[in-house]
Structure 1
Amino acid sequence: MKVKDLEPRRRADVTVKVVSLGEKRNVIGKDGSSHQVMDVLVGDETGSILMSVWDSNIQKVSQGKVFAIEDGFVSVHRGSMRLSLGRTGKMVETQGTFEVNTQNNVSNRVVEEEPRRRYGRY
């Protein structure tokens, strides 16, 4: 799969290169536990996307590294597509020589968010 083909709320297996790192920030999870998260711009020759990297995976990423994202997930956050690992995804460092197409940043596309279902209610 290529970055240009990623779709909201779908699983994704894609190989990406890290373009730039955002700031680490602390967040509190739904269970009350503390976590660190960092938004990272990643991509391939077809496009780029913001990826949310959590906790211990933050120390693995640096500019120029290439990762195979296995069983990742494309979520929608504030109308913007984001690549994440979700619960079952893996981020495996690999080799690759390609230039990232940052002109086609799919996170810049506005995506309609679906209302969350709450036990049969909308």
Structure 2
Amino acid sequence: MQIKDVEPGMSNVTLTVRVVSVNRPRKVSTKYGEATVAKAVVKDETGSITLNLWRDQINLVKPGDVIRIENAYAKEFRGEVELNLGRNGRIVVLKREEQESEEEPEEGISEEEEEPEE
């Protein structure tokens, strides 16, 4: 399945996507009490969609990660289709994006030694 195929009311949605962004978590009131939620934008080659991350799910993913969303359900919220994970849903990180700050700076050419642009 791909993002373009997701419609409100669908369940058992499984997708492989890349995480584009994760918003700052916020507290919301639900029928089950207060909870923490963060909205993540995920994409594949067909489009992008919001994935709601609840409680412990928030720290599972980071921008750039490739993840598989399993057993999600889709619903419409404020005119947009969003994905949520139910009790049997899960997120599997397939590829963790390396942090650029951990890379060693390249050694070699200094500014004075660069080739002039033509």
TM-score computed with the length of structure 1 as normaliser: 0.72
Structure 1 position 86, deviation (Å): 2.0
Runs of 4+ residues over 3 Å off in structure 1: none
Structure 1 position 84, deviation (Å): 1.2
Name 1:10's counterpart in structure 2: 10
Matched residues in 2 for 1:40 and 1:65: separation? 11
Name 2:83's counterpart in structure 1: 83
Structure 1 position 67, deviation (Å): 1.1
SS at match of 2:88: coil
Structure 1 position 78, deviation (Å): 1.6
Matched residues in 2 for 1:85 and 1:49: separation? 14
Number of residues of Structure 1 aligned to a counterpart in Structure 2: 95
Structure 1 position 45, deviation (Å): 1.0
1:29-68 matches, within 5 Å, as 29-32=30-33, 34-68=34-68
Matched residues in 2 for 1:16 and 1:22: separation? 17
Matched residues in 1 for 2:95 and 2:37: separation? 25
* Structure 1: runs of 5 or more not aligned: 97-122
1:12-31 matches, within 5 Å, as 12-31=13-32
Matched residues in 2 for 1:20 and 1:37: separation? 14
Structure 1 position 65, deviation (Å): 0.6
TM-score computed with the length of structure 2 as normaliser: 0.75
SS at match of 1:94: strand
Structure 1 position 21, deviation (Å): 1.4
Structure 1 position 13, deviation (Å): 0.8
The percentage of aligned residue pairs carrying the same residue is 39
* Structure 2: runs of 5 or more not aligned: 97-118
Matched residues in 2 for 1:78 and 1:37: separation? 16
Name 1:112's counterpart in structure 2: none
**CA root-mean-square deviation:** 1.5
The letter of the residue matching 2:25 is K
**Higher strand proportion (structure 1 or 2):** 2
